[in-house]
């Protein structure tokens, strides 16, 4: 296993639980990959995703190695999941539970939109039930695999899944604030809501309906729990070890293992690689041509993340996750996605883990994660000169929005930093989920010319986000099982 990120850990758990001898090689000194941790001046920051949904996928991986979620990874549901604020000064909270959210909409947007929410939830659930087993949690050997589920494809067509997400939400609600609240999730897929297919409403279902969770100890507690459970079940972990090459057999061209940068070679009958796909080919398989789209595909926009520890505590109105929608919407996405420029009136996310993790900040202080979507490195922004002004704008934003802003410690992450961490185009969100880069059209998780080599992570199927990469790890384990059945 190359990499102890969430995809690699999920694959390791499923393979170990099925009886395989598993060794995980990780260049960092802790598990997590993109879901890492930064400890600085008494503050603890999660450096990757801050939103956890579909916790049953974590439970599945833990259960594969004989561990139970409640014991291995205690967590709490966040309610509200988000506090959304708008340019007109209004606020809408995303509440857990159908009735609670319906009441929130009734109180903030009126009875007509509250009634429309019932049909919206029904539509989301139907999309989810069809999509998950037939198009997400599934290995495709070719696009022809879509034909094996004609009823599911017909049902998605009937549900309008191949229309545009923005239009689907606007048809159901009158209040433009709800249009934003139930479609901004398209950004997770690297697309503007008016460009994303409605089938990506499944992301809205995951966090707006199923709920958002926060592990005790922070988001990095999730990979730590997976690694500990997997190791207890018999897997070996090699931290601080970096893979230099994937070694192949001279007779069959199949994998023989990996070679570390110090020259040590680890033998293996199968290898699961979780590096960003084009980076994996460039660094570990330089003699092979990457699959279509991996090197020259359309990549998602990136993000600037400002990790900042401040003196002071937020007011009682502040939630764990806070989305601040700018006045601009369509024009902001045009600037970001079409012109490669900074959003003229950006929407931003502020996450405050110290509200639910006491040891994330010293007493009387707060730990903040501030995110602004920005172009990836194919855009027009020179981060050598733009980083300092961006930091100052984010600082001013905190002050104007009423957050504590007396900075004690900080670290800002730009697309250049993401690139240095091994992410193509300087984006942690990998390939955008355009139709041509979705499902069986996304770069595959196997390399046919190298039997036994399997990929996992956001650059391959099924895609980006914590739930998707956990599924990716399980799909990779399934591939290994087909190639190398136990007992062979």
pLDDT per residue as tens digits for the range 152-186: 989 999 999 999 999 999 999 999 999 999 999 89
**Residue boundaries of the structural domains of the chain:** 6-37+52-74+217-296+430-483, 106-210, 300-424
Closest CA to 337 of 199, 163, 201, 189: 189
Phi-psi label, residue 110: left if phi above 0, alpha if psi -120 to 50, beta otherwise: left
Across the range 296-300, mean pLDDT stands at: 93
222 half-sphere exposure, CB direction, 13 A CA radius: 37
Q: Is the confidence at residue 229, as pLDDT, over 80?
A: yes
Helix (H, G, I), strand (E, B) or coil at 185: helix
Q: Is the confidence at residue 392, as pLDDT, over 80?
A: yes
Residue that is written with structure tokens 């009441």 in the block: 103
- The enclosing H or E element of 212 equals strand 212-215
Q: Is the confidence at residue 330, as pLDDT, over 60?
A: yes
Residue 142: its pLDDT value, please? 77
* Residue 285 per-residue DSSP state: -
Token couple for 315? 């007011």
393 pLDDT tier (thresholds 50, 70, 90): very high
150 half-sphere exposure, CB direction, 13 A CA radius: 1
Helix (H, G, I), strand (E, B) or coil at 173: coil
DSSP sequence for 109-152:
H-HHHHHHHHHHHHHHHHHHHHHIIIIIS---SSGGGGGG-HHH
- Alpha-carbon dihedral sign for residues 319, 321, 326, 330: negative
**CATH architecture, range 6-37+52-74+217-296+430-483:** 3-Layer(bba) Sandwich (3.50)
Across the range 463-480, mean pLDDT stands at: 97
- Percent over 70 (pLDDT), the chain: 99
Q: Is the confidence at residue 265, as pLDDT, over 60?
A: yes
Q: Is the confidence at residue 300, as pLDDT, over 70?
A: yes
State how far the Cα of 346 lies from the Cα of 367, in Å rounded to an integer: 22
Average pLDDT of the chain to the nearest whole number: 95
pLDDT per residue as tens digits for the range 73-86: 999 999 999 999 99
Across the range 323-352, mean pLDDT stands at: 96
Helix (H, G, I), strand (E, B) or coil at 326: coil
- Alpha-carbon dihedral sign for residues 224, 228, 229, 234: positive
Closest CA to 388 of 410, 408, 373: 410
Residue 487: its pLDDT value, please? 58
Token couple for 22? 């598993």
Q: Is the confidence at residue 140, as pLDDT, over 90?
A: no
Residue 207: its pLDDT value, please? 85
Residue pair 352/322 in contact (Cβ under 8 Å)? The answer is yes
The b-or-e profile of 293-303 (16+ CB within 10 A means b, else e) is bbeebbbbbbb
H helices then E strands: how many in the chain?
15, 18
Residue 97: its pLDDT value, please? 92
Q: Is the confidence at residue 488, as pLDDT, over 70?
A: no
Phi, psi of 423 (to 5 degrees): -115, 120
Residue 163: its pLDDT value, please? 94
Q: Is the confidence at residue 215, as pLDDT, over 60?
A: yes
State how far the Cα of 272 lies from the Cα of 276, in Å rounded to an integer: 12
Residue 293: its pLDDT value, please? 84
State how far the Cα of 323 lies from the Cα of 315, in Å rounded to an integer: 16
61 half-sphere exposure, CB direction, 13 A CA radius: 35
How many CB atoms are located within 10 Å of the residue 77 CB? Answer: 12
pLDDT per residue as tens digits for the range 406-422: 999 999 999 999 999 99
Residue 310: its pLDDT value, please? 98
CA distances from 486 to 131, 304, 480 (A): 30, 45, 10
pLDDT per residue as tens digits for the range 472-482: 999 999 999 99
110 pLDDT tier (thresholds 50, 70, 90): very high
**Order of all β-strands in the sheet with 255-260:** 243-248, 255-260, 265-267
The b-or-e profile of 328-343 (16+ CB within 10 A means b, else e) is bbeebbbbbbeebbbb
Chain-centroid distance, C-alpha 59: 17
- Strands 23-26 and 236-239 come out as parallel
Cis peptide before 392 (omega within 30 of 0): no
Residue 296: its pLDDT value, please? 86
252 pLDDT tier (thresholds 50, 70, 90): confident
């Amino acid at each position: 296993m190359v990499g102890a990120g969430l995809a690699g850990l999920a694959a390791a758990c499923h393979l170990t639980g099925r009886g395989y001898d598993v060794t995980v090689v990780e260049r960092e000194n802790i598990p997590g990959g993109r879901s890492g941790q930064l400890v600085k001046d008494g503050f603890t920051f999660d450096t990757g995703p801050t939103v956890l949904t579909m916790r049953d996928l974590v439970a599945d991986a833990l259960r594969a190695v004989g561990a139970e979620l409640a014991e291995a990874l205690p967590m709490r549901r966040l309610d509200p999941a988000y506090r959304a604020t708008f340019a007109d000064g209004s606020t809408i909270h995303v509440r857990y539970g159908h009735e609670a959210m319906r009441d929130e909409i009734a109180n903030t947007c009126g009875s007509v939109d509250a009634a429309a929410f019932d049909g919206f939830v029904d539509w989301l659930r139907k999309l989810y039930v069809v999509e998950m087993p037939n198009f997400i949690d599934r290995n495709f050997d070719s696009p022809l695999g879509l034909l094996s589920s004609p009823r599911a494809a017909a049902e998605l067509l009937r549900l309008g899944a191949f229309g545009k997400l923005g239009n689907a939400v606007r048809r159901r609600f009158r209040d433009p604030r709800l249009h934003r609240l139930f479609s901004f999730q398209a950004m997770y897929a690297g697309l503007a809501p008016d460009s994303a297919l409605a089938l990506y409403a499944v992301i809205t279902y995951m966090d707006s309906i199923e709920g958002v969770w926060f592990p005790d100890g922070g988001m990095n507690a999730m990979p730590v729990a997976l690694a500990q459970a997997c190791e207890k079940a018999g897997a070996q972990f090699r931290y601080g070890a970096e893979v230099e090459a994937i070694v192949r057999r001279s007779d069959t061209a199949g994998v023989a293992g990996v070679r570390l940068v110090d020259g040590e070679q680890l033998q293996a009958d199968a290898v699961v690689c979780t590096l960003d796909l084009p980076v994996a080919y460039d660094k570990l398989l330089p003699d092979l041509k990457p699959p279509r789209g991996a090197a020259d595909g359309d990549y998602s926009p990136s993000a600037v993340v400002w990790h900042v520890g401040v003196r002071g505590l937020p007011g009682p109105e502040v939630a764990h996750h806070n989305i601040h929608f700018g006045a601009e919407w369509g024009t902001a996405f045009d600037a970001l996605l079409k012109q490669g420029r900074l959003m003229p009136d950006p929407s931003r996310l502020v996450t405050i883990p110290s509200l639910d993790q006491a040891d994330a900040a010293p007493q009387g202080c707060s730990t903040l994660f501030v995110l602004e979507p920005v172009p990836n490195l194919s855009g027009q922004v020179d981060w050598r000169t733009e980083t300092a002004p961006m930091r100052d704008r984010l600082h001013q934003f905190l002050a104007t929005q009423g957050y504590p802003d007396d900075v004690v410690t900080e670290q800002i992450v730009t697309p250049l930093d993401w690139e240095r961490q091994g992410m193509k185009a300087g984006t942690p969100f990998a390939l955008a989920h355009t139709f041509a880069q979705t499902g069986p059209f996304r770069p595959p998780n196997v390399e046919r010319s190298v039997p036994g080599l399997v990929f996992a992570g956001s650059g391959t199927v099924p895609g980006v986000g914590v739930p998707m990469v956990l599924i990716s790890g399980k799909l990779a384990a399934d591939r290994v099982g087909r190639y190398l059945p136990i007992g062979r």
